[in-house]
Structure 1
Amino acid sequence: MAQRKAARNAGLVTGFYHFARPGPAAAQVNYFLSKIDLVDGDILILDWEDARVSNTWKDPWLKQVQQHTPGHKTILYCNRDSWLNRDTTSFAADGLWIAQYNNRPGRPDIQCPWLFHQYTDQPLDTSIGDFHGGAALRTWSRHIAVPA
């Protein structure tokens, strides 16, 4: 909570991240939502990397989270290979966060709209958003400042 408050007070958008694992999607949605404390503007992210988790699992998870958290953006994080070769619906809920380590910020090699591009992991994971500055990202996420 203190980290989120500090981040929000610094003007950053915050959120929660769920790494998809095999097993019932609904059970994972319920567990995920029971462990988080949402505030206005938080983003919810599904990390879809495990090859054992199918596209038919991904879509219901995203839709259920959207249904249970109106007013919050829900996005899909996955690598380029999963998006191009495992995805069959092009459903990313409210946006796609694509990981492709090509060291070309904002130029992932995909033909669909994306919101974030993770373009390197050296020296640490680094992403760029397709927004015209922090204010646009805060507006998109419906960010409301947390009082001090």
Structure 2
Amino acid sequence: MEASLIYGVDVASYQGEPDWKAVFGDGIRFAFSKVTESTGYTNPTWAHNRAGMLALGSEFLPGAYHFLHGGDGAAQARYFLDKAGDVSSFAVALDVEASGADAATARAWVAEFKERTGGHPVIGYYPRWYWEQTGRPDLGFFDTVWQSHYVNGSGSPESLYAKVPASWWTSFGGEPISVLQFSSSGTVRGISGPCDVNAHRGGLAELKALALGRGEDDMPEYVSVGVDTPQELPPNQWVTVDFGKEYADGSHHHWNRGGPSVVVGPARYSLAANVRVSGLPKGVELQARAIENAEDGSGYEAGPIAEYTASDGDTFVHYALPADTVRDGYRVRFQVVQYGTAPARIVGGTAKAFAWPE
């Protein structure tokens, strides 16, 4: 087991009315309840689940999700908000897996939801198989991805997760995976019958920061930014990725002085950055790195370099820096270089960071 790992469940009307105190007592630390589907269905157990999850207090993260259909994504977001109530204390997820839904519909849902909630993060339940089926779209409009891949058998979350290979956490669609649904046959006290069980590789504070987009006394600051305009990527030249779209940044780390930054020093931080590169022939080598620029322009400090090889079609660069520090007067940015013979283009991307100011 990873050094830091927490388990969660997701429920719908099939599970009836869970005993949430018993669920918490069985070691579950986060949960998602279905709220709505399309624009005509509301889960009859939502009110029970909402009250029960909130009653568990600060050691639990309650969640709510909408099951997306094809059609008007913005109208479905408005329907969800009307039925869900105040979701400022909830992790919010969008379930995209069938019923005519696709990335365009999901993007419209997320845009409408964020507009009406002041940028509250959205976790995208977009299974890899459905991502492949729908043409491998860029999922950068989500704040992170909730992936599903099931092990065999039934039992407790701990016994089932022991069968999960590390490869199931591999990123796709330009977004990291923060929640993994690894079985629909979990047994959890307080829930009648089998249920979906999930894992998050990290602590509760980290998941709260990601899902709520704001810091608390025991939580890091969360920054989520994205690429909103294609950017030229000439050969043999390090390019600072222009993250022009801000999704979450309550502490104003994303500030444009010599290029958009992700974290402001002095701070400890972790960074996950992803970019989508178009126009590279298969086999061309690329590199990526975090870089800490001095605000006064006097210099920079480069972080670890990761290497990649271009694939057929667009190439996805996934970069992770689990832990580092940035000094006072410096700002963290993200750079990419390609070693082909002709220009390419950065056509999408995101950067997510957790920062602990010092």
Please say if residues 63 and 93 of structure 1, whose CA atoms lie closer than 8 Å, have aligned partners that are also in contact. no
In structure 2, do the counterparts of structure 1 residues 109 and 137 end up closer, same or farther at CA, with 3 Å as the change threshold? closer
**Separation (CA, whole Å) in 1 of partners of 2:164 and 2:73:** 34
Which residue in the other structure is 1:130 paired with? 201
Counterpart of 2:179 (choices 95, 101, 116) is 116
Of 99, 104, 116, the match for 2:148: 99
Equivalent position to 2:137, from 82, 85, 88: 88
Aligned partners of 2:169 and 2:180 also within 8 Å:
no
Q: Residues 105 and 117 of structure 1 are in contact (CA less than 8 Å); yes or no, is this contact kept in structure 2? A: no
Deviation of the 1:73 alpha carbon: 1.7
Structure 2 length as normaliser, TM-score?
0.36
List per-residue Cα deviations over 1:92-128 (Å, max 9, x = no partner): 5111001111441664164331110111112331111
The residue identity in structure 1 corresponding to 2:204 is: G
Counterparts of 1:35 and 1:72, CA distance in 2: 17
Could you tell me which amino acid in structure 2 is paired with residue 130 of structure 1?
R
Which of 192, 202, 209 is 1:139 aligned to? 209
1:3 aligns with 2:46: no
Q: Give 1 or 2: higher helix fraction.
A: 1
How far did 1:62 drift?
1.5
Shift of residue 60, structure 1, vs aligned partner? 1.3
Hey, what's the Cα distance between the residues in 2 that align with 1:84 and 1:93?
Answer: 17
Unaligned runs of 5+ in 1: none
Give me the whole-angstrom Cα distance separating, in 2, the residues matched to 1:65 and 1:84: 25
Q: Does the aligned pair in 2 maintain the 1:41–1:143 contact within 8 Å?
A: no
TM-score (norm 1): 0.81
- How many residues are paired up? 143
In 1, the alpha carbon distance for the partners of 2:141 and 2:93 equals: 10
Query: By how many angstroms is 1:71 displaced?
Result: 5.0
User: What SS does structure 1 have at the residue aligned with 2:130?
Assistant: helix
> In 2, distance between residues paired with 1:106 and 1:72?
29
Of structures 1 and 2, the larger Rg is shown by 2
How far does residue 22 in structure 1 lie from its aligned partner after superposition?
2.5
- Percent identity, aligned pairs only, is 26
SS class of match (2:86): coil
Q: Does 1:19 align with 2:49?
A: no
Which residue matches 2:47? none
Which one-letter code corresponds to 1:88 in the other structure? P
- Aligned equivalents of 2:102, 2:90: Cα separation in 1: 26
- Quote the RMSD (CA, aligned, Å): 2.5
Give the number of the structure with larger relative contact order, counting CA–CA contacts within 8 Å between residues 6 or more apart. Answer: 1
Distance in 1 separating the partners of 2:139 and 2:204: 27
Match of 1:75 among 109, 120, 123: 123
AA of the residue aligned to 2:86: L
Shift in Å, 1:53:
1.4
Who is 1:28 aligned against?
Answer: 76
